[in-house]
Amino acid sequence: MSEKKEKKFTVSSFLDSKEKGEKITMLTAYDYTTAKLLDEAGVDSILVGDSLGMVMLGYDSTLKVTLEDVLHHTKAVVRGCNRALVIADMPYLTYHISVEETVRNAGRLIQEGGAHAVKLEGGEEILPMIKGLIRAQIPVLGHLGLTPQSVNMMGGYKVQGKSEESAKKILRDAKLLEEAGVFGIVLECVPDRLADYISKSLKIPTIGIGAGAGCDGQVLVIQDMLGMYQNLAPKFVKRYKNIGEQIKAGVSEYITEVKAGAFPQEQHTFKISDDVLEKLY
């Protein structure tokens, strides 16, 4: 008898969830083992974010991440997932030059990487690229508000949408992205009442990170919420576990035991017969 599999979460499930008023859960992952754990725990969607540049590769921003980096990590994540929708982030400069290059790059994330969808940062200025992707049958998740690939233009990682002009631009961009056919929009670091208003103005779901409880779903970077990446502590992160401290405690116990000869013990070793051993002398 075949094993009963849970229904896969798809881009249609994004829209169904919003219609039913069910919140969507999303977390980042960049490797097979973590993706498998998140999928088994029941997360709806996994984002192979370009945040991997910081939390996996140790860069100080996401700008150095390449398509090959995201492709490599996407392949691993996809192998670990059975139910979750896997979304690959398009890195800086992979969707800024032309529609043709954008489609080719996103196509690799889908065709070679096995991702189900891609995410791009930006609004009106990247609309032709988004439309090109959708024409090529590639589902797109938008990303507005604080868009980390624009850190140099924004003058730092700052909350966006506080002024009338900026709030109106985010709202206008959200509506343009919806019209273009994206299946959802990440809203990063925008005031909660703006995110709530945008969420209520759209049919597609919003996925918030630092955007309050009015969004239709939430996303966090897995290393942040499990306390593994300790270089930054953004206000919007809730630390659900302190795995970083547990790792350090486990490793220091291992070091102590190896130095003291307390590890390995009998149960960790393999045996050879006396007969074979004697023949070596």
List residues near ligand KIV by CB under 6 A: 28, 47, 49-51, 89, 186, 188, 209, 219, 221
Cis peptide before 191 (omega within 30 of 0): no
Catalytic residue among 188, 253, 266, 278: 188
Establish how many alpha carbons lie within 13 A of residue 85's alpha carbon, considering only the half-sphere containing its beta carbon. Answer: 22
CA distance readout (Å), 254 to 104, 250, 264, 267: 47, 6, 10, 16
The least distance separating ligand KIV from the CB of residue 40, rounded to whole angstroms, comes to: 21
The least distance separating ligand KIV from the CB of residue 62, rounded to whole angstroms, comes to: 6
Nearest residue (CB) to ligand KIV, 60 versus 253: 60
The least distance separating ligand KIV from the CB of residue 199, rounded to whole angstroms, comes to: 16
19 is catalytic: no
Task: Pinpoint the alpha helices (H) of the chain.
Answer: 11-20, 32-41, 52-55, 67-80, 99-111, 127-135, 151-154, 164-180, 192-201, 222-225, 243-260, 274-278
89 marked ligand binding residue:
yes
Q: If we measure between CA atoms, which residue out of 125, 156, 155 comes closest to residue 143?
A: 125
Token pair 């979460």 in the structure block, residue: 9
Nearest residue (CB) to ligand KIV, 102 versus 149: 149
CA R_g for the chain: 22
The least distance separating ligand KIV from the CB of residue 78, rounded to whole angstroms, comes to: 17
What is the rounded CA–CA span in Å between residue 150 and residue 162?
Answer: 17
What is the rounded CA–CA span in Å between residue 233 and residue 18?
Answer: 30
Which amino acid is it at 173?
Answer: D
39 marked ligand binding residue:
no
50 marked ligand binding residue:
yes
Nearest residue (CB) to ligand KIV, 152 versus 273: 152
Q: Residue of minimal CB distance from ligand KIV?
A: 49
Nearest residue (CB) to ligand KIV, 28 versus 102: 28
- Binding site, annotated residues for Mg(2+): 50, 89, 121
Catalytic residue numbers read: 188
- Binding site, annotated residues for 3-methyl-2-oxobutanoate: 50-51, 89, 119
- Binding site, annotated residues: 50-51, 89, 119, 121
